[in-house]
Structure 1
Amino acid sequence: MREQEGTSELDQAAETEPTMPRPSARARRIRRGLLRRRPRPAGPITHRRWIWRRIWRCALALTVAFSLWLGYSVYGALSAPGTDSTAARLAEWGRDHGLNWAVNWLEVQTYTPPKAGGAVPPDALARMQAAQRQQDLARKAAITLHAPVKPLVSPALPGEGDFSPLIEEHGQPVVQSATMRPDTQYTSFPVGVVWMKQSALSFALHPGFQEPGGNWGVPDTVPSGQRLGLVATYNGGFKVSNGDSHGGFYLDGRTVGTLRDGAATEVFYKNGSLRIGVWGQDVRMTPDVVGVRQCLVPLVAHGQVTQQVYDGGTATWGFTDQGAPFVARSGVGVDKNGNIIYVGGRVLSVQTLAVLLQRAGAVTAMMLDINLSWPSFISYDGSHDTADPTPHNLVNFVRPADRYYQESSRDFVAVYTRSHS
């Protein structure tokens, strides 16, 4: 009886005690996972693990070092002095560091072709009309102006291709300019043609701080204090430092690149004169040479457009923005009397440039720099301040007119009146 009574009491106690719920399947899985994730005691570092650690640390260090170098290098390009645009600075940096493929791809993706058609800009039209009036006035005053350039577009606009005085010295037009359309397609991008009287002017070659680079006894700008008598500046040629010009650069007794026989060449002399010819044939090194600038092969030789103008490709005439045939171009030549002729515009082909130089009277002519950021011809008006003349662009180049009043990344030519040189 007692056993039965005791059992009954135990059963009653069990019935009255609360029962613990059984953990769910999800809770059990989480618990097992936590138990499995308990950290294992660190074992000895094997040789293989040591090698991988060293590799990862070296890779991290190299990545950090490369990032610092890249940032410093790009910052140096962007913070350099001068008026080069951000796009031009980055493109030049990329090409100088073996990224031609990337620069070319980006240029193609962002390329906006020049607008075809359209009216001649009002300022260019005004220059043509003023040139027509100047021709009439010059005939009455017995002042000789350069013969008009036969226009490439027919019918010609009034004053198209006519020269008018740009700079006068003692009442004589020593620098004259004409404005014209480049073709029937890109009529809103005028071309400027300049004639410079050799006997009245002095020509000086200036280096750029990046091209050709280095330290020179000649400044990379036209600094304040050296502007008296300044009448014009114009751009140099293709890059010498990387071989694009297919020639060399000589100044201040030093040479960058190699002066190559057969190359089209500007030669600057101690007396301020300038000759343009083929190196090793028309011109060569002599004791009175102070500067030499080579660029490609002639556009015009013996008064005729060369066959290479029609046959040559990028290997002859260089790579253009987006590979387009019509880009900003410039060239310089010499006429039969030794006077200098410059042609430049925003939208020109190699053939158009050569034909214009030849029609303007050049018996020998050469290509200068191309592509949007580089061609410039700037004249200077000293009527208000002879020591600091006001600059004016020849046509609608993209670079500001004060380009060479600041440090220039590329070489250029400064032109002075002989009475002040």
Structure 2
Amino acid sequence: MAPPSSAVASSDTDSTDHADESDEAGAADAADAADALNSPTVATTAVDGTAQPATEENDPTPDDARHDEPGAEGTDSAAPGPTTDAAEGETVTIATSPEPRRRFRLLPRRRWLRRTLAALAVVVVLLAVLVTPSLVHALTRPGSDTVAARLAEWGRDHGLGPVVTWLEARQYDLDQPPTGGAPPGGIPHAPGAVTDRPGGIPVPPPLPAPDGLPPLPGEGQWQPVVSTPHGDAVRMTTVRPDAAHTSFLVGVLWMDPTLVRGVLHPGTEDPGGDWSVPASVDPDEQRTVVSAFSAGFRLQGDSHGGWYLDGREARPLVPGAASLVIHRNGTADVGAWGSEVRMGPDVAAVRQNLIPLVDHGVVDPTCATGGTAEWGSTVGQAAYINRSAFGVTATGAEIYVGGPALSVCTLGEILRSAGAVRGMELDINPAWVSGAYFHPTGQPRPDAFQLFPGEQVGAQHYLQPSSRDFVSFDLRSVADTAGAPPSTQHHGGKHPPSGTKHHP
């Protein structure tokens, strides 16, 4: 016999109570998790087809009731279900797909980009306003410095020194001087060579060829380029830099201290300021000038040394630094400051740069291993680039060396082989290494000649204001110009073709 309906209902109710409680607990947990992650949107749809949003604020049905309502199965699911039939007047709840959680953003992307670009534009304009006057000044100041040299100097003056040095190093990496080969046309005859005149201090011995190489015709042979009634005031020669870079030529000047006197000139920018000596070989000095060449590294720190003229220091003199000293009688000397050369009433000018390159007739062994304190930060001591140096011999003769494809060591070796017992590195890089000699006639605008082939700086560069300091040498007397050839034309610093003789 079938059990009473009440008993069946009671049994069914008892058998489902635990399942309902378990289902409700699980459904509640799942709903909480779904709400936390997805925040689904639930809409209620009336029988008449009007959709109304059902939110916690406007849905009057409690959470427990929603689970127990007839036809509400699946309303906790995130997936939409089919629409079920409902009696008239009833409201059917339909679950919609969850909307993705919106990420928190300060500003919309386009607005943020516009504001960032606007801020950058303001910064650029402000920087342009600040730097434009100084940059214009650097590009338009008097002198014959190249645009590249002016930009590099401006960059170093405005905190971009490391960037300029890095660019110079990369340029060197991409354009290193080739090895092997021979100089085009061989060893050239000295442009502006003159007839040899006896007198003065003894002629130095010829410079040897690089180790392991036989000398080329004319290599290392001294040729007079400025003569006086008392002897040759200036001689020059040409040698290859080393046994590897055999297609390049380095120029060497030799000057007789009994016939010439030295002058340290300030640059308009380095060191700048007011001095008794002009920033150029002015028309008065042009009557007797015989040579000029660039001085050392910049004084703002690269030289690791000081500068002295007119009884005052533009930069403090540094003990132990390599120093070019010009005495009041016009003679020049080189040595370590404070030991080999020192301050005294006879000192007219001092130009310091790095450490001594040659001392006691020996090249400093750190020429291949020293760092920025010894040989500067530009490119490096082992790079083969344009370099220059100055030294003195045991007889007091003054030696200048300048040319391409030189390391610190090979520069020092040429200076030593020319007879220097003490010497120092001066400048570096093609834009600054420049040596010139002149035919003085007692009149302004003398003929000017570059020291070595391929020199980037014109020979008449120093006849106009120079931004950097430099050293010139003049005949001691206007009367000594009587032996110089007449000045009939200006050559603009061009180096004649190899093997040709200059006829002024």
TM-score by length of 1: 0.78
Distance 1:236 1:216 in 2: 17
Shift of 1:60: 7.3
Residue 261 of structure 2 is matched in structure 1 by: 202
Q: Who is 1:192 aligned against? A: 251
Aligned to 2:42: none
Q: Give the number of the structure with larger relative contact order, counting CA–CA contacts within 8 Å between residues 6 or more apart.
A: 1
The residue number in structure 1 matching 2:288 is: 229
| Residue number in structure 2 paired with 1:145 | 203
What SS does the aligned partner of 1:84 have? coil
2:324 matched residue in structure 1: 266
Q: Alpha-carbon deviation of 1:119?
A: 2.8
1:309 aligns with 2:372: no
CA distance in 2, matches of 1:305, 1:322: 17
| Deviation, structure 1 residue 223 | 1.5
1:82 corresponds to: 143
Distance 1:130-1:97 versus aligned 2 partners, 3 A rule: closer
- Is 2:442 aligned against 1:360? no
Name the counterpart of 1:406: 464
Determine if contact 1:265/1:295 at 8 Å carries over to the other structure.
yes
Matched residue of 1:342: which SS? strand
1:282 aligns with 2:340: yes
Partner amino acid, structure 2, of 1:303: G
Q: Is the 8 A contact 1:333 1:357 kept in 2?
A: yes
Distance 2:370 2:147 in 1: 32
Q: Deviations over 1:222-265 (max 9, x none)?
A: 1223211111111101111x211111000122212221111111
The aligned residue for residue 416 of structure 1 is 474
CA contact (8 A) 2:359 2:421 kept: yes
- Equivalents in 2 of 1:283, 1:147: separation in Å? 27
- For the pair shown, which has the larger CA radius of gyration, 1 or 2? 2
RMSD: 3.0
Alpha-carbon shift at residue 322 of structure 1 (Å): 8.0
Higher alpha-carbon deviation: 226-235 or 96-105 = 96-105
Residues in 2 aligned to 1:142 and 1:232: alpha-carbon distance in whole angstroms: 18
Counterpart-to-counterpart distance in 2, 1:220 and 1:280: 28
Q: How many corresponding residue pairs?
A: 361
Taking a change above 3 Å as real, the CA distance of residues 59 and 186 of structure 1, as seen in their structure-2 partners, is: closer
Give 1:243's aligned residue: 301
TM-score, reference length from structure 2: 0.66
Say if 2:431 is the partner of 1:394. no
1:360 deviates by 0.9
State percent identity of aligned pairs: 42
Shift of 1:366: 0.7
Q: Check conservation: 2:197, 2:231, Cα contact below 8 A.
A: no
Matched, 1:294 2:355: no
Counterpart for residue 37 of structure 1: none
Give the deviation of 1:57 after TM superposition.
Answer: 10
Partners of 2:220 and 2:448 in 1: CA distance: 23
Question: Which position in structure 1 is the counterpart of 2:177?
Answer: 114
Q: Distance in 2 between matches of 1:170 and 1:147?
A: 22
User: Which residue of 97, 102, 109 maps to 2:163?
Assistant: 102
| Amino acid across the alignment from 1:125 | I
Alignment-derived partner of residue 166 in structure 1 = 225
Q: Which residue of 2 aligns with 1:64?
A: 125
Is the 1:176–1:196 contact (alpha carbons within 8 Å) kept by the matching residues of 2?
yes
Contact 1:128 1:161 in 2 (8 A): no
Q: Distance in 1 between matches of 2:255 and 2:157?
A: 35
Residue 200 of structure 1 aligns with an amino acid whose one-letter code is L
Q: 5+ unaligned residues in a row in structure 1: which ranges?
A: 1-54
Distance 1:81 1:61 in 2: 33
**Whose helix proportion is higher, 1 or 2?**
1
C-alpha deviation, 1:58, in angstroms: 9.7
Name the CA distance, whole Å, in 1 between partners of 2:383 and 2:121. 46
Aligned residue in 1 for 2:273: 214
**Is contact 2:370-2:381 (8 Å) kept?**
no
Bigger mean CA deviation after superposition, 111-120 or 368-377? 111-120
Change (3 A) 1:158 1:415: same
CA distance in 2, matches of 1:142, 1:198: 9
Which runs of 5 or more structure 2 residues have no equivalent in the other structure?
1-115, 481-504
Give the whole-Å Cα distance in 1 for the aligned partners of 2:282 and 2:135.
Answer: 27
Query: Which secondary structure does the structure 1 equivalent of 2:227 belong to?
Result: strand
Determine if contact 2:182/2:248 at 8 Å carries over to the other structure: no
Distance 1:114 1:253, change over 3 A: same
SS of corresponding position for 2:333: strand
Q: CA deviation at 1:310?
A: 3.6
Counterpart contact for 1:202–1:273, Cα < 8 Å: yes
CA 1:300–1:59: 2 relative to 1, 3 Å: closer
Q: Summarize the Cα distance change of 1:243–1:81 in structure 2 as closer, same or farther, 3 Å threshold.
A: same
In structure 2, relative to structure 1, the CA distance for the partners of 1:306 and 1:107 (3 Å cut) is closer
Q: 1:228 to 1:322 in 2, by over 3 A?
A: same
2 CA distance for matches of 1:66 and 1:146? 56
Give the structure 2 partner of residue 374 of structure 1: 432
